[in-house]
């Protein structure tokens, strides 16, 4: 589905990745973890072709990402960024409808409503916000609206960058259930950057851990990756790992004292 082969990238002469190779399998939930500055958001930008590697190659569904047109990329990959209100005060339903742009023959005459938009608003619990301006939303409301826009894009790959960070507990759990349903029922491949270690362990089939030099510190199932030694080495944190009583997924318990 997604393959990186010896990818290198640097910002202002500072290397972020020097020789990054990995694969994300079709239909899996894939988590990206790591300390601040390890390159997690940069990796998502590379995967969505916002920036290009200086060496190596990224392939999506077998096609070199660098050779795809912007519309073709958008038809394959949808993105839920960290919440940031757009500069123009679009009504929520029009803002969500913009997710259909990659599938339209032109860029004008896009309806602000329709079955796709209405369904996306419903499943993200934002139907009551349809007529509200996006610049008036709370952080949590905007995050759910951004997810709704990604859903109507109908892409086979969904990239999320700390997408639940602004959500309160009930919407965070609902968000997690929605991602699981998209993955299991629709076969959407989901790649998410997260600092919520326990939620990532519960949701993801595999997780990638980047160290502060942008190298792969660990890659595998949460049960394989979540070790006390890994968290000490990569995050500099003393933790205890035990199984969650309900899910059995590894749970991270910091040593506070």
DSSP string for residues in the chain: -EEEEEEEEEETTEEEEEEEEEEE-TT-EEEEE--TTSSHHHHHHHHTTSS--SEEEEEETTEEGGGS-HHHHHHHEEEE-S----SS--BHHHHHHGGGGGGSSSSS---S-SHHHHHHHHHTT-GGGTTSBGGGS-HHHHHHHHHHHHHHTT-SEEEEESTTTT--HHHHHHHHHHHHHHHHHH--EEEEE-S-HHHHHHH-SEEEEE-TTS-EEEEE-HHHH--HHHIIIII---EEEEE-TTT--EEEEE---
Residue-range domain boundaries for the chain: 2-254
CATH 3.40.50.300 fits 2-254, yes or no: yes
Tens-digit pLDDT string for the chain (257 aa)? 899 999 999 988 889 999 999 999 999 999 999 999 999 999 999 999 999 999 999 999 999 999 999 999 999 999 998 766 677 889 999 999 999 888 877 655 555 447 889 989 998 889 999 999 999 988 888 888 998 999 999 899 999 998 877 778 887 888 888 888 889 988 999 999 998 899 999 999 999 999 999 999 999 999 999 999 999 999 999 999 999 888 889 999 988 76
């Amino acid at each position: 589905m997604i393959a990186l082969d010896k990818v290198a990238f640097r910002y202002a002469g500072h290397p972020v990745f020097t020789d990054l190779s990995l694969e994300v399998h079709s239909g899996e939930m894939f988590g990206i973890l790591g300390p601040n500055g390890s390159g997690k958001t940069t990796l998502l930008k590379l995967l969505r072709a916002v920036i290009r590697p200086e060496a190596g190659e990224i392939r999506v569904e077998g096609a070199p990402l660098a050779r795809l047109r912007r519309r073709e990329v958008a038809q394959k990959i949808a993105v839920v960024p960290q919440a940031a209100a757009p500069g123009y005060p679009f009504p929520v339903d029009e803002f969500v409808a913009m997710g259909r742009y990659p599938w339209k023959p032109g860029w004008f005459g896009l309806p602000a409503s329709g079955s796709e938009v209405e369904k996306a608003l419903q499943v993200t619990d934002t139907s009551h916000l349809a007529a509200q301006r996006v610049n008036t939303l709370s952080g949590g409301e905007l995050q759910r609206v951004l997810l709704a826009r990604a859903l109507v894009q109908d892409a086979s790959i969904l990239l999320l960058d700390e997408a639940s960070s602004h959500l309160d507990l009930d919407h965070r759990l609902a968000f997690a259930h929605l991602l699981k349903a998209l993955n299991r029922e629709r076969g959407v491949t989901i790649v998410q950057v997260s600092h919520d270690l326990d939620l990532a362990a519960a949701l993801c089939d595999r997780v990638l851990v980047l160290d502060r030099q942008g190298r792969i510190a660990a890659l595998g199932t949460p049960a394989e990756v979540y070790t006390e030694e890994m968290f000490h080495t990569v995050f500099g944190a003393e933790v205890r790992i035990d199984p969650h009583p309900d899910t059995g997924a590894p749970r991270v318990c910091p040593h506070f004292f």
